[in-house]
Chain A
Amino acid sequence: MYKAIVIGTSYGGLEALKTLLPKLGSGFPLPVIVVLHIGEHNNETFLTYMDSICTLSVKEAESHEKINPGYVYFAPPNYHLLIESDFTFSLTTDHKHNFSRPSIDILFESAAWVYTHRLIGVVLTGANSDGAQGLKMIKDFGGMSIVQDPNSALSPAMPRAALKIAKPEYQLNLEDIAVKLIEFAFKRK
């Protein structure tokens, strides 16, 4: 039974998430935790908009906050997002990783230590290679790994890097990723 989903994306990610996240309807049983590279700016407007088009509640992850199903959490700009063993969030202002803060690798690795094989990792469109190592770790720890089909991605570099390094279980377009996530989320074993 899976406990959480982590998603990483950068260039083109806004559009991709607008397609993917609203498809996870009410009663979706897993928390969704997202790193989207959007620069150092305030992302309030974006979060309000995402919340308005999703059934799940969309918010920024806060320091010490308990991770609950029914929510999509976004890493705040300019902070790395980590997961604690008691299923709460931590933030750090540590150095950029892959020129990014938040970094997808850092979230994925931190989540893998806590959720081990009960984690689903997803890498979507993006113009760098952040997320590839993190997804590999999720896979090595027995979790589920999914990458957006590079041909369907606005920017194929990030999915390509993830395919090469993590050799994920699934390579799918956004619609099929949504279907897969729903299928896995409701699995009992």
Chain B
Amino acid sequence: MTQINYNSSNVDLLNIEIQLLMEAIFLRYGYDFRNYSKAHIKRRVLHRLVLSNLSSVTQLQDMVLRDRGFFNEFLDDLSINVTEMFRDPEFYKSLRENIIPKLRTYAYFKIWHAGCSTGEEVYSLAILLKEEGLLDRCQVYATDFNRKVLSTAKEGVYQKNEIEQYERNYQLSGGLHKLSDYYKSRYGSIIFDKELSNKIVFADHNLVIDKVFADVNLILCRNVLIYFEKNLQDNVIGLFYESLVPSGILCLGTKESIKFSRHENFFEAIDTKQKIYKKKIG
């Protein structure tokens, strides 16, 4: 097996080569990871070196630049697609109790689920909306920059092995029925009812390089900002601010916050613990 060319004596070299690799990817393919958390990128790059039996990031860069198929594989390495249904049940509980009543006041509303990954949390949201009788009144945009995960999300077919955990999460989140009411089992997989995805548009959108999405009433973007450096995080929160209607709602991950961001004062907290914020009027 190839020995990786980095150790305690050339840590700087690794950092430099990774920076060059990110620049190369941006120039060649337009994906911008230059302001992502360096520690996260480093971990993923080193992991790829071992998997592909490469000894340096420069070798990796050569392959990434010349081989689109290999780049697509590496793109999967860089995006985190670990998710689950009703992840953080307390968040969904708060959404149901504190935000649904606000949405109910609109005749029609739009939701943007940014960084939806393989879609488990989008279906969770759709189930919640259906139970509250609001699914017919809304349009959900579910976006991600990774087309592979988007197509999984669109299909709504998932492995059955996590289903007990999902059922537990659903109950803890204040679900009104049984999760199994919303899917059919087939050959170790579960398939969500088409009725749930009828109102969802799955679209390719990159938070780092693409523009404002639409005039939306609610944005969910959970466990995405943790991968961004401070400035990029600020820019994306700005993008959300622009996208929201006045009094629109922004939901972040449990360990994310608008605290210390440039836009801190443009939002007020609705649930500090679950990181649910409201855009101030004016």
A-side residues, CB < 8 A to B, are 62-64, 76, 79, 82-85, 90-95, 106, 109-110, 112-114, 116-117, 140-142
Contacts and interface: CB of A to CB of B under 8 A. Distances in A.
A113 B11 contact: yes
Given A63-B226, A113-B11, A117-B8, A94 B39 contact: no
A92 B255 contact: no
B110 interface: no
B51 interface: no
B255 A76 contact: yes
Contacts of A117: 8
B7 interface: yes
19 contacts: A62-B255, A63-B225, A63-B256, A63-B257, A64-B233, A79-B255, A82-B39, A82-B40, A84-B39, A90-B39, A90-B40, A90-B226, A92-B40, A92-B227, A94-B40, A112-B8, A113-B14, A116-B8, A117-B8
A142 B8 CA distance: 8
Contacts, number: 66
B230 interface: yes
Contacts of B230: 64
B11 A116 contact: yes
Contact of A93 (B8, B82, B233): B82
Given A64-B230, A84-B38, A110 B43 contact: yes
Nearest to A62: B255
B80 interface: yes
B40 A85 contact: no
Contacts of A91: 226, 255
B15 interface: yes
Contacts of B14: 113
The 6 closest A-B pairs by CB, nearest first: A82-B39, A141-B8, A90-B37, A116-B8, A91-B226, A90-B39
A141 B226 CA distance: 28
Contacts of A90: 37, 39-40, 226-227
Interface in B34-66: 37-40, 42-43
Contact of B7 (A64, A82, A106, A140): A140
Nearest to A109: B43
A67 B82 CA distance: 27
B235 interface: no
Contacts of A140: 7-8
Interface string B13-38: 01100000000000000000000011
Contacts of A85: 15, 38-39
A90 B226 CA distance: 7
B94 interface: no
Contacts of A92: 37, 40, 43, 80, 226-227
B139 interface: no
Given A92-B80, A94-B82, A63 B255 contact: yes
B223 interface: yes
Contacts of B15: 85
Interface string B199-227: 00000000000000000000000010111
A140 B6 CA distance: 12
B39 A110 contact: yes
